[in-house]
């Protein structure tokens, strides 16, 4: 007797793409609207993003819910909240959206070579001080590559940041991702000279009378932040800030002791403090492996490696506080309009 599911049976050997029907039927537009609402958490903002009226967007959401037979979104005065099933669908659609973006970007790259958009997730501090100044060279060499800088929503997940590349502080081990170790960023307690003049030099013997500027970024209950947490617990937290550039300006203005990247010693009014606190974080560059086949993504990948690797003295294996003559310092000096001679 022949096997009932013989390989040659036309009913099961046909490729899915040869079928005439679309499994999602006529609801692709509604799915796109749903994903926009899920991301914006607002019907109004999603409608603006899609360039349709609020009424049209709402009608498409209702049509999708009727087709699925389940409530996906609950609308209230503060916006839109996803139900459990809505969250499941949103996650699936986000992965699909990422795949479509990657595929179309790769196809454009094949046709146009070094042309296209590359999304890079990087913290504001590293982006402003190192990446942006380097982009002058990148723009001259590859004028048709557009870099889209994104502030990370998650320091550990490239996928959640919806980026092609991410500068992070840990390697990702997912099979679809490639992570490369770069240099090391160092954080030290610092204060402005105006703060020291006003309140005296902070030492391990007098922290109880000193003010600190804290940040949620330094509050994770992991060992690496423990030296800083011990200092803060002994003093008084006068202010908190999570935005890196704003945080640095608060220290510069003398509002308290802060934990700053070592390159902030380039600021002439900055005073690094000897408080037995030196925090070193490894830097990793993570990419969607498939996207590295696209020439623009590979170019930006190599560009970031050249900026944030150990050849940059600020990210070298050994901590240095005297790299002011390095070309890698130009971004910081320009940001604060500091003369190089002020550091000589």
At 333 the pLDDT is: 77
Name which residue leads in pLDDT, 22 or 176. 176
Residue 10's pLDDT is: 47
Residue 49 and residue 187 share a domain: no
212 and 308 in a common domain: yes
Single pTM value for the model? 0.65
**Tokens (6 digits) for 128:** 């402003």
Percent of the chain whose predicted confidence (pLDDT) is above 70 = 83
* CA separation for the pair 214, 217 (Å, rounded): 9
Pair (129, 21) in one structural domain: no
Q: Read off the pLDDT band of 9 (50, 70, 90).
A: very low
Range in 60-64, 131-135, 191-195, 235-239 with the lowest mean pLDDT: 60-64
**Per mean pLDDT, which of 90-94, 142-146, 329-333 is the most reliable?**
142-146
Average pLDDT over residues 5-25: 47
Q: Which residues are registered as beta bridge partners of 258?
A: 190
- 3 state SS for the chain: CCCCCCCCCHHHHCCHHHCCCCCCCCCHHHHHHHHHHHHHCCHHHHHHHHCCCHHHHHHHHHHHHHHHCCCCEEEECCEEEECHHHHHHHHHHHHHHHHHHHHHHHHHHHHHCCCEEEEEECCHHHHHHHHHHHHHHHHHHCCCEEEEEECCCCCCCHHHHCCCEEEECCCCCCCCEEEEEEEEEEEEEEEEHHHHHHHCCCCCCCHHHCEEEECHHHCCCCHHHHHHHHHHHHCEEEEECCCHHHHHHHHHCCCCEEEEEHHHHHCCCEEECCCCCCEEEEEEEEEEHHHHHCHHHHHHHHHHHHHHCCCCHHHCCCCCCCCCCCHHHHHHHHHCCCCHHHHC
Question: What is the CATH number for 77?
Answer: 1.10.10.10
Q: Are residues 51 and 84 in the same domain?
A: yes
CATH number where 338 lies: 3.40.190.290
Is the confidence at residue 192, as pLDDT, over 50?
Answer: yes
Asked whether residue 263 falls in the same domain as residue 119, the answer is yes
Statement to judge: residues 139 and 85 lie in one domain: no
Claim to verify: residue 288 and residue 152 sit in the same structural domain = yes
| Mean pLDDT to the nearest integer, 174-178 | 87
What is the model's pLDDT at position 26?
A: 64
Which of 149, 160, 184 is closest to 170 using CA atoms? 184
Task: Indicate whether 44 and 153 sit together in one domain.
Answer: no
How many domains are contained in the chain? 2
Domain end among 79, 103, 127: 103
Residue 6 is assigned to a structural domain of this protein: no
- The stretch 251-264 carries a mean pLDDT of 95
Q: Confidence band (pLDDT; 50, 70, 90) for 105?
A: low
Arithmetic mean of pLDDT, 225-229: 95
pLDDT over 70 (residue 107): no
Judge whether 194 lies within some domain. yes
Provide the pLDDT for residue 186.
96
- For residue 7, pLDDT over 50 is answered with no
pLDDT in tens, 287-315: 988 888 888 999 999 999 999 999 999 99
- pLDDT tens digit string along 29-44? 888 888 888 888 888 8
Domain-located, residue 280: yes
Q: Is 2 part of a structural domain of the chain?
A: no
pLDDT one-digit tens code per residue, 75-100: 888 888 888 888 888 888 888 887 77
123 with 97, same domain? no
In-domain check, residue 232: yes
Range of the domain at 37: 17-103
What is the pLDDT averaged over residues 317-332? Answer: 76
Domain assignment of residue 23, yes or no: yes
Assess whether 93 and 132 both reside in one domain: no
344, pLDDT greater than 60:
no
Residue 24, in any domain of the structure: yes
Residue 261, pLDDT score: 94
pLDDT at 49 over 90: no
What pLDDT is stored for residue 6 in this prediction?
45
The domain boundary, picked from 103, 136, 152, lies at 103
Q: What is the pLDDT of residue 131?
A: 94
In this structure, are 27 and 80 located in the same domain? yes
In a domain, 108, yes or no: no
State the pLDDT at residue 8: 46
pLDDT tens per residue, range 232-243: 999 999 999 988
């Amino acid at each position: 007797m022949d096997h009932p599911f013989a390989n040659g049976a036309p009913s099961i050997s046909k490729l899915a793409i040869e079928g005439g029907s679309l499994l999602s039927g006529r609801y692709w537009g509604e799915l796109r609207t749903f994903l926009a609402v899920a991301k914006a958490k607002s019907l109004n903002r999603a409608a603006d993003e899609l360039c349709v009226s609020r009424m049209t967007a709402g009608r498409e959401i209702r049509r999708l819910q009727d087709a699925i037979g389940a409530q996906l979104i609950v609308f209230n005065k503060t916006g839109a909240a996803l139900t459990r099933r809505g969250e499941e669908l949103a996650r699936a659609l986000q992965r699909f959206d990422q795949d479509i973006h990657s595929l179309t970007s790769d196809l454009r790259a094949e046709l146009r070579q070094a042309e296209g958009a590359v999304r890079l997730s990087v913290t504001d501090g590293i982006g402003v001080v190192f990446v942006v100044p380097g982009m002058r060279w990148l723009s001259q060499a590859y004028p048709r590559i557009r870099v889209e800088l994104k502030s990370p929503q998650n320091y550990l997940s490239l996928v959640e940041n919806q980026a092609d590349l991410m500068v992070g502080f840990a390697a990702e081990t997912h099979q679809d991702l490639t992570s490369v170790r770069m240099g090391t960023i160092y954080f030290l307690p610092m204060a402005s000279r105006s703060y020291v003049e006003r309140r005296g030099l902070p030492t391990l013997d007098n922290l109880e009378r000193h003010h600190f500027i804290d940040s949620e970024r330094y509050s994770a209950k992991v060992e690496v932040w423990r030296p800083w947490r011990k200092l803060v617990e002994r003093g008084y937290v006068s202010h908190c800030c999570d935005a890196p550039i704003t945080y640095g300006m608060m220290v510069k203005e003398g509002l308290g002791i802060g934990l700053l990247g070592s390159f902030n010693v380039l600021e002439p009014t900055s005073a690094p403090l000897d408080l037995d606190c030196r925090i070193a974080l490894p830097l990793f560059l993570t990419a969607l492996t498939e996207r590295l086949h696209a020439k623009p993504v590979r170019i930006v990948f190599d560009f970031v490696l050249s900026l944030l690797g150990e050849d940059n003295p600020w990210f070298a294996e050994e901590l240095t506080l005297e790299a002011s003559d390095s070309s890698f310092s130009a971004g910081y000096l320009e940001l604060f309009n500091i003369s190089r001679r002020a550091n000589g």
